[in-house]
Homo-oligomer: A and B are copies of this chain.
Amino acid sequence: MRIAEPLQDDCPGAVQRDCRHGHTENGCEDCKVRLFSVCAALESCELDELDRISHARQIPAHSTLFEQGALAGSVFNVTEGIVRLYKSLPDGRRQITGFALPGDFLGLALQDRYGVSAEAVTPVSVCRFLRTAFLSYVDRKPHLLRRLHEFAGHELSLAQDQMLLLGRRTAEEKIAAFLLNMQTRYARIKSMSVTVPLPMSRQDIADYLGLTIETVSRTVTRLAREKVLLIVPDGVRLLDQERLKRIGVA
């Protein structure tokens, strides 16, 4: 239940925001991801407070948000666009550990250093918080911490699925699972559609699935030849979802 008027002690009345640094017009209130991101754990009045420590930022495509191993100065909530999260080996081999979509939170673990690097795949909008400010906010909001922990649990579960995929599935199974997965994740922010946008490069998909770019290309082409899907500009259209599920789902 959302409460319009502040009711709790720690909601210091209707304080008018005096600082609008880089915020969208109405701050969190009309944020696109408000209702399904971590912030959904917060009431309107609490949100106001969060608003005051947040900084809306636009990040151009292909630029870096943060780098693996660097001190975690900020945490981010993605509100628009796609971010790739990855780990690299010194010789250049790369494993993308996930793609962050709107509503996803970067720096969930709240650790003092980033465990992965993050780069914008498309132009990205984020809601940025200084880690220290966010931490002290979290300390005063146990239900937000619960929410963050739920998100972390979900991430962990996804990571385990991905381990199964990387360690034990064939190229075709990997591709099928990836496409179905992206489809359901997009459904959350747009609406369920048979057209799955793939703004990331083939190399990104390969590095996410533990394959080479050639194998990704060949496998997708073959699935298209077999009328399981149709390749469209910047994505695919899933023609035979049943077949795809039979290939890709556990």
Binding site for B on A (CB under 8 A): 87, 89-90, 93-95, 97, 108-111, 115-116, 139, 142, 145-146, 148-150, 152-157, 159-164, 166-169, 207, 209-210, 250
In the assembled complex, which residues on chain B have CB atoms less than 8 Å from the CB atom of A153?
108-111, 152
B168 touches A159 (CB 8 A): no
Contact for A152 among B109, B163, B169, CB less than 8 A: B109
Could you tell me the distance between the alpha carbons of A1 and B109 in the complex, rounded to whole angstroms?
25
Closest B residue to A107 using CB positions: B153
10 pairs across A/B with beta carbons < 8 Å? A93-B169, A95-B167, A109-B149, A109-B150, A111-B150, A116-B160, A145-B149, A163-B163, A166-B167, A167-B207
Closest B residue to A209 using CB positions: B167
Could you tell me the distance between the alpha carbons of A166 and B166 in the complex, rounded to whole angstroms?
6
Closest B residue to A162 using CB positions: B163
Residue among A111, A164, A169 with max Cβ neighbours from chain B (10 Å)? A164
Could you tell me the distance between the alpha carbons of A87 and B146 in the complex, rounded to whole angstroms?
26
In the assembled complex, which residues on chain B have CB atoms less than 8 Å from the CB atom of A116?
160
In the assembled complex, which residues on chain B have CB atoms less than 8 Å from the CB atom of A90?
250
Besides the known contacts A90-B250, A95-B163, A156-B159, 13 further A-B residue pairs in the complex with CB atoms under 8 A apart:
A89-B168, A95-B164, A95-B168, A97-B163, A109-B153, A109-B156, A110-B149, A111-B150, A115-B156, A145-B149, A152-B156, A163-B166, A166-B167
In the assembled complex, which residues on chain B have CB atoms less than 8 Å from the CB atom of A108?
153, 156
Could you tell me the distance between the alpha carbons of A156 and B89 in the complex, rounded to whole angstroms?
18
> Would you give the shortest CB distance from A146 to chain B, in whole angstroms?
7
Closest B residue to A250 using CB positions: B89
Could you tell me the distance between the alpha carbons of A154 and B94 in the complex, rounded to whole angstroms?
21
> Would you give the shortest CB distance from A115 to chain B, in whole angstroms?
4
> Would you give the shortest CB distance from A85 to chain B, in whole angstroms?
8
| 4 pairs of A and B residues whose beta carbons are closest in the complex | A109-B153, A167-B210, A159-B159, A166-B166
A87 touches B161 (CB 8 A): yes
> Would you give the shortest CB distance from A167 to chain B, in whole angstroms?
3
> Would you give the shortest CB distance from A185 to chain B, in whole angstroms?
18
In the assembled complex, which residues on chain B have CB atoms less than 8 Å from the CB atom of A164?
87, 89, 95, 97
Could you tell me the distance between the alpha carbons of A72 and B166 in the complex, rounded to whole angstroms?
26
A87 touches B142 (CB 8 A): no
